[in-house]
Amino acid sequence: MRSLTLILLVCSLSAYSQEIRRKPLILSQGGTPEKPAVFDGKGMIIDLGIDITGHDWIKDGDVWTSRGPLPGHPPVDDEQRAGLFIDEVPLRIRRDREAEKKSGVAKKVIFAAPKALQPGQVGWAVDGSLYFRWPKDKKPGDALIFQPPPGLASGVAIACSYIKVRNVTAMHAANDGFNIHGNRVGIRLENVKALSNGDEGISAHETVQMDVVDSEIAWNGSAAGGVADVNDSITTYTNCELHHNVNSAFFFDGKSHRVTNCVIHHQDKDIVVRGEGVTVEQSGNVWRKE
């Protein structure tokens, strides 16, 4: 019997959903400080994943290899993000840095050999075939396999100011679940879920000012963390749950951030702060490793 983890998750979400969307959502119409725009997804699921479970895999124990390149999924040299998903679990891209160095070729990309992969890692052969080792908590053949979509699309891209986004789930994006770039202010995310995305679940850049409340950020594949707010961003997170993201729950390299009454569990790190002059306030948070 296949693992039901992701199936149950999607069914649970679908029970309240008005729409399952297979394309990115771009929000570009904002409001004013006095009357912000409101986008209520009413349970909308944005799932960009491509189910490749039925591919004719070459199976060698827990190492599986595609027969030739997978359509729309050429080798990805960026180890920052996940290259594949097994159910909800992101699989990290692994390169052989020692072999690249020994090659003497500038910017040479060599992926770790199949036998060298650790559980939950993925790489590509010279002919473009993808191979991966199953994660520890997934039995080979008993879970769904998803590849992210071609390119670097995010699930939800917010390209305006003064907007409230509610009741939306973003899954299996190649980039971020919720991505905000530019000089955007007055952004508020309410009851959103950022689950199993290739890079961060939520990421604010440049001079974005954003508040996130009552939301879940989990199983995202970024080497930074489930959340990564950078540049001169100013953000707050209140009553949120973060778990099972690669590396840290929060990665802050922005101007000012506040984390209040959040629950963080199953994370290697809670909050990582990079750079000088970054202000991070915390209160009422619950931290636990398991």
3-class secondary structure, 254: coil
Q: Report how far apart, in Å, the C-alpha atoms of 265 and of each of 18, 194, 278 are.
A: 30, 16, 24
3-class secondary structure, 17: coil
- pLDDT of 204 > 90? The answer is yes
Residue with tokens 């394309």: 23
Average pLDDT over residues 220-237: 97
Question: Same structural domain for residues 135 and 163?
Answer: no
Question: Same structural domain for residues 223 and 272?
Answer: yes
Question: Same structural domain for residues 138 and 158?
Answer: no
DSSP sequence for 152-218: ---SEEE-SSSEEEEEEEEES-SS-SEEE-SS--SEEEES-EEES-SS-SEEE-TT-EEEEES-EEE
Sign of CA dihedral 8, 13, 15, 21: negative
d(CA 238, CA 215): 8
Burial of 277 (0-12, 13-18, 19+ CB in 10 A): exposed
For residue 51, name the pLDDT band (cuts at 50, 70, 90). very high
For the chain, where are the alpha helices, taking DSSP H only? 5-14, 97-103
Q: Tell me what pLDDT residue 3 has.
A: 44
- pLDDT of 13 > 50? The answer is no
Domain boundary among 91, 119, 147: 147
Q: Are 130 and 153 in contact (CB under 8 A)?
A: no
- Joined together, the tokens standing for residue 162 give 């003064």
Question: Same structural domain for residues 268 and 164?
Answer: yes
Q: Tell me what pLDDT residue 275 has.
A: 83
Q: What is the pTM of this model?
A: 0.91
Question: Same structural domain for residues 38 and 112?
Answer: no
Question: Same structural domain for residues 165 and 265?
Answer: yes
3-class secondary structure, 86: strand
Q: pLDDT digits over 63-108, tens only?
A: 999 999 999 999 999 999 999 999 999 999 999 999 999 999 999 9
Question: Same structural domain for residues 66 and 109?
Answer: yes
DSSP state of 106: T
Strand order in the sheet with 129-133: 50-51, 145-147, 82-86, 89-93, 121-124, 129-133, 63-69, 58-60
For the chain, the domain total comes to 2
Question: Same structural domain for residues 279 and 193?
Answer: yes
Radius of gyration of the chain (CA): 19
Domain of 137 in residue numbering reads as: 50-147
| Strand-strand pairing, 129-133 and 63-69 | antiparallel
Q: pLDDT digits over 231-280, tens only?
A: 999 999 999 999 999 999 999 997 899 999 999 999 999 999 998 889 99
Q: Tell me what pLDDT residue 12 has.
A: 43
| Strand-strand pairing, 50-51 and 145-147 | antiparallel
Q: Tell me what pLDDT residue 140 has.
A: 95
For residue 208, name the pLDDT band (cuts at 50, 70, 90). very high
Neighbours of 59 (CB within 10 A): 11
Domain boundary among 147, 174, 204: 147
Domain boundary among 116, 132, 147: 147
Question: Same structural domain for residues 256 and 157?
Answer: yes
Question: Same structural domain for residues 157 and 41?
Answer: yes
DSSP state of 102: H
Question: Same structural domain for residues 86 and 210?
Answer: no
